[in-house]
């Protein structure tokens, strides 16, 4: 663990093992933090916060810019760590690290743009100011599917705002976060400003974040179920929260779409992000009835050509799933759909022979004749499975797309400008891609509606999530 500028073990000497999901081989034994360890990390962050908060934004930005430069220099080294602990293909890991690195570049600039306001007073003899100040110590909890991006998207804006951070990365993928802590220290980030605690017990660590009086905000990416529990706990002390939670993203192909780009985009957003283990992956594919006979074979053909392989194998596009629980869930959803009448157009099975015998692999799967009431169409799949359904018209597909408690991301393909505006506005999702399945950038906010989360990450809004607004009235 990295706490207060020092590398320490757990007070109880307990450890946890990190393994490679592609091979099952151990990668490292790390401290398994207990309550006292996490409390200490929060104490160290509280000590470091006042000086860091008082550091001019320009100076904070210079340090973040240096972090960006070091991350860029070591992209391949970090990507190797991502592939080893997460399993995703090496080329995909390199793209992730490059994208994750960009958050430090973006927020290095935003650090100097935290503007206040001068407000015209309603009466003579008064001056009114509005200023923004860092909220305090931030506790961040990140998942395993994007070990680099999920971390930088939280800590870069928090540090830019002047907050101190205690990070709890996923126990399956903590190595990338620890490497980032080392780079931050090398870049000149003061001791205690960024701390990383590792541990298997998310409930114990999360409870410390809720209990410690110095922690003023919790930033979490993970399941909706856990997010609700954290929100309930945070409400007892009115701690600020920002959550990026589950999704059930629709991917809609209208009859006026360009079919080849739509098929390419659908495959990319469904299968080529951590083997479908992403909250923004397409979870339901809707194809207009009049083009189904043309589009579905195009889509299936592309899926059958995807290369499933260990992450370091040249040309690998889909790696292993992260653990056996995810594998079992994915297979149960597929087998349940088949039992209920869905047809397998591609895949539909585990891969366990030969090169796949030591990993947790699932064949890229396309299911047709899927119905809305099937679990595979209602639950977040988190695996390489695309359920295909058809629809008659625009009104129907909008209603079906919105008929979910989730509201993170949605995608649709069309060449009709009027339809673009109508559908983009009607979809109840925080992010909508139109003829674009890779539209998320540092410059725009990331977040969802309904039970998919609260708050935004990225864009100019990202730094505001870590600020308090103070009003000052001066009599003269």
* Active-site residue set: 244
Is residue 45 a contact partner of residue 195, using CB atoms and an 8 Å limit?
A: yes
Q: What CA–CA distance (Å, rounded) separates 242 from 49?
A: 20
Does an H or E element contain 80, and which?
helix 75-86
Reduced to 3 states (helix: H, G, I; strand: E, B; else coil), residue 292 is helix
Contacts of 323 (CB under 8 A, 6+ apart): 21, 172, 360
Q: What are phi and psi of 416, to 5 degrees?
A: -95, 115
Q: 308: closest CA among 382, 269, 257, 364?
A: 364
**Residue partners of 14: CB distance under 8 A and separation at least 6:** 31, 32, 34
Assess contact for 234 and 210: CB atoms under 8 A: yes
Q: What is the dihedral of CA 176, 180, 183, 184, to 10 degrees?
A: -170
The CB density around residue 237, as the number of other CB atoms within 10 Å, is: 12
C-alpha dist (Å) from residue 413 to 131, 174, 345, 435, 437: 43, 37, 22, 5, 10
Looking at residue 306, the DSSP 8-state letter turns out to be P
Sign of CA dihedral 186, 160, 100, 321: positive
DSSP 8-state code for residue 413: E
Burial of 172 by CB count in 10 Å (0-12 exposed, 13-18 middle, 19+ buried)?
Answer: buried
Provide the phi-psi class of 164: left if phi over 0, else alpha when psi is between -120 and 50, else beta. Answer: beta
Phi and psi dihedrals of 251, rounded to 5?
-125, 110
Beta pairing class for 453-454 and 467-475: unpaired
């Amino acid at each position: 663990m990295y706490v207060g500028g020092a590398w320490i073990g757990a007070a109880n000497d307990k450890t946890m093992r990190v393994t490679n999901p592609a091979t099952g081989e151990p990668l490292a034994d790390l401290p398994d933090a207990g309550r006292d360890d996490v409390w200490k990390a929060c104490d160290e962050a509280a000590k470091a916060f006042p000086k860091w908060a008082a550091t001019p934004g320009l100076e904070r930005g210079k340090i973040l810019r240096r972090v960006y430069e070091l991350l860029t220099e070591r992209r391949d080294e970090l990507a190797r760590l991502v592939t080893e602990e997460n399993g995703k293909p090496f080329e995909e890991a390199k793209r992730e690290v490059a994208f994750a690195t960009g958050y430090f570049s973006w927020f290095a600039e935003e650090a100097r743009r935290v503007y206040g306001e001068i407000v015209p007073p309603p009466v003579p003899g008064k001056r009114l100011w509005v200023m923004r100040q860092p909220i305090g110590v931030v506790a961040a909890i990140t998942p395993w599917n994007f070990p680099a991006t999920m971390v930088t998207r939280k800590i870069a804006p928090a540090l830019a705002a002047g907050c101190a951070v205690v990070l709890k990365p996923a126990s399956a993928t903590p190595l990338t976060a620890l490497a980032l802590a080392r780079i931050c220290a090398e870049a000149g980030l003061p001791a205690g400003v960024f701390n990383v605690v590792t541990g298997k017990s998310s409930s114990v660590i999360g409870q410390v974040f809720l209990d410690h009086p110095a922690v003023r905000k919790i930033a979490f990416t993970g399941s909706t179920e856990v997010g609700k529990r954290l929100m309930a706990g945070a409400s007892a002390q009115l701690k600020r929260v920002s959550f990026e939670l589950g999704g059930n993203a629709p991917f809609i192909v209208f009859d006026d779409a360009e079919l080849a780009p739509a098929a390419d985009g659908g495959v990319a957003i469904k299968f080529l992000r951590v083997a479908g283990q992403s909250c923004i992956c397409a979870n339901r594919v809707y194809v207009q009835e009049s083009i189904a006979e043309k589009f579905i074979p195009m889509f299936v053909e592309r899926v059958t050509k995807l290369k499933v392989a260990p992450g370091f194998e040249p040309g690998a596009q889909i790696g292993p799933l992260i653990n056996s629980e995810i594998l079992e869930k994915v297979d149960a959803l597929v087998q349940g759909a088949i039992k209920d009448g869905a047809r397998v157009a591609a895949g539909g099975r585990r891969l366990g022979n030969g090169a796949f015998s030591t990993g947790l692999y699932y064949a890229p799967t396309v299911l047709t004749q899927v119905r809305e009431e099937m679990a595979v169409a209602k639950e977040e799949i988190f695996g390489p499975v695309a359920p295909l359904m058809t629809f008659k018209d625009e009104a129907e597909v909008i209603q079906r797309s919105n008929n979910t408690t989730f509201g993170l991301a949605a995608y649709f393909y069309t060449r009709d400008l009027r339809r673009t505006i109508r559908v983009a506005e009607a979809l109840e999702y925080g992010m909508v891609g139109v003829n674009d399945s890779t539209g998320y950038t540092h410059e725009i906010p990331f977040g969802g509606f309904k039970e998919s989360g609260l708050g935004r990450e990225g864009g100019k809004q990202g730094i505001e999530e870590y600020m308090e607004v103070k009003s000052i009235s001066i009599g003269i």
